[in-house]
Structure 1
Amino acid sequence: MDHKLNEISIRTDIRPGDLGYVMYRHGKLYGEENNYGVAFETYVGSGLYEFYKNYNPELDRVWICEQGDKIVGFLLLMHRENNRAQLRYFYFEPECRGLGLGNKLMQLFIDFAKACEYNAVYLWTTDELPTAHHLYKKFGFKLTEERPSNHFGKSLVEQRYDLIL
């Protein structure tokens, strides 16, 4: 396992093609694994556009995991109002799950948020991702809100998790 993790590098610069690829992989993976529709992919695209339009390298960050020249994971921190930040678009390719990469990215995310002196961070997810919930709770996030949704082409429950820093 450690050998596989050592083959994955993490960069924080955004290069041409990165955001489009992340949108594409979210659409494909969540479509195949959770039966999310095209509406989810366009939601991701809209959020990535918002992120880059307001991108400030002092306040925002991407963590792009690569194995060779292939993106195998992604996470971003997006600045928000009231000295808060949002965690968005966290995903790993199936073959890169269970290696400890999620823990590594969560620690990098929290360290960057603290270095930026954010008061709190939050994220939105769905009730269908128990492995992700476990990771968020492990790092101190608390479930603070739930709401029924049909935004991703199916009925589910959207969930908000918050962490006070």
Structure 2
Amino acid sequence: MTVQDVRAFNRFYTGVIGALDYGRHLYAPYTLTESRVLYELAHSRQLDAADLRTRLSLDAGYLSRILNKFEEAGLVERGPSAADPRRRSVTLTTRGRETAGLLDERARETVGALLDSVAPQERPRLGEAMRTIRDLLGDERAPGPREVVLRAPRPGDLGWIVQRNAELYAAEYGWNADYEGLVARIVADFAEDHDPHLERVWIAELDGRAVGCVMCVRDEVPATARLRLLLVEPDARGRGVGDRLVRAVVDFAREAGYRDLVLWTNDVLSSARHLYQRHGFGLVAERPHRSFGKDLMGQDWRLDLHGSGV
């Protein structure tokens, strides 16, 4: 990427925002900076002038003139800070909150118009690109990593499992479309006929984004469950996502009354194999095979849910 690339993106994006606001006077009668000050005051319990200067990187004199204007208009009140008497707290009046609310409503309508121009299936990709820009350019106010959340699949998640398995295994191991077909059949079988008391899918979510998945389904052998389609996105690895997913399957299978938990994998998936070992699985068989366009060594692993080994 070059300086010209960044400048071109800036021109494009400001042009998009300008076109959306054409004739709408989004911030009128306030400037963009004044509107940002109102936004910060409306979304914080208590701020003083020093906080505002730091958050918005404003010159002290410029901010003082804005606050004087707001105070004269009856939008803000200033007084001694409860935390530090040497500072002046700034709070919105009732009129100030109404004004901030109006500006926020206009902004929502404008952004809504922008999103309406993007196909629904493309919006997650747009959001991820925006998060990536914030992360890489060091947005200190971007939400930090939160705890991984495991949840049930929502509409579209089963399709995401097929898509991401196909994409990741093609990119990382060179597997062909045969693997995508296998995953699609597994997912379709679950979607069409499963017992929620004995079978389950988990989606791992981080910062509102799906970053992993796993399935627990009934095996052909009585009293045996099978772990399937464990996946963790590359940028979420090292956060314990895989460990959480495997633990969820083990706990569920044990509580559902299964005697054994089994899985099939390949020896090239070394990280997954180490994860299974940590959770007590033992290798019971392996054999070479030709699948997904590659020569592989398939492995069967088993965990005795009510014992101490294989």
User: What per-residue deviation string (whole Å, max 9, x for no partner) do you get for residues 67-123 of structure 1?
Assistant: 344311001100124011100010011011111122222221111111101000101
Alpha-carbon distance in structure 2 between the residues aligned to 1:108 and 1:9: 11
Q: Does 1:18 align with 2:169?
A: no
Q: Secondary structure at the match of 2:190?
A: helix
Alignment partner, residue 231 of structure 2: 91
> What are the residue-to-residue correspondences of 1:1-165 with 2, within 5 Å?
4=145, 6=147, 8-12=148-152, 14-81=153-220, 82-165=222-305
More helix by share: 2
Deviation (angstroms), 1:5 = 5.2
3-state SS in 2 of match to 1:90:
strand
Sequence identity, in percent? 37
Residue 73 of structure 1: SS of its match in structure 2?
Answer: strand
**Contact in 1 for aligned 2:145/2:206 (Cα 8 Å):** no
2-structure distance, mates of 1:130, 1:163: 18
Q: Could you tell me whether the CA contact under 8 Å between 1:5 and 1:99 is conserved in 2?
A: no
Q: Distance in 1 between matches of 2:164 and 2:290?
A: 21
Residue ranges of structure 2 left out of the alignment (5+ in a row): 1-143, 306-310
In structure 2, C-alpha distance between the alignment counterparts of 1:37 and 1:90, rounded to whole Å: 18
Partners of 1:71 and 1:34 in 2: how far apart?
Answer: 22
Deviation at 1:58, TM superposition (A): 0.5
Q: Take 1:103 and 1:154, find their aligned partners in 2: how far apart are those partners?
A: 28
The two structures, once aligned, show a CA RMSD in angstroms of 1.4
The size of the alignment, in residue pairs, is 161
CA distance, structure 1, for counterparts of residue 239 and residue 257 of structure 2: 29
Tell me whether 141-150 or 30-39 shows the greater mean CA deviation.
141-150
| Letter in structure 1 aligned against 2:204 | C
- Distance in 2 between residues matched to 1:39 and 1:136, nearest whole Å: 25
**Bigger RCO of structures 1 and 2 (CA < 8 A, at least 6 apart):** 1
1:74 aligned counterpart, secondary structure? strand
Q: Distance between the aligned counterparts of 1:17 and 1:104, measured in 2?
A: 22
Bigger CA drift: 139-148 or 65-74? 65-74
Secondary structure of residue in 1 paired with 2:294? coil
CA contact (8 A) 1:83 1:120 kept: yes
The list of structure 1 runs, each at least 4 consecutive aligned residues, that deviate by more than 6 angstroms after superposition, is none
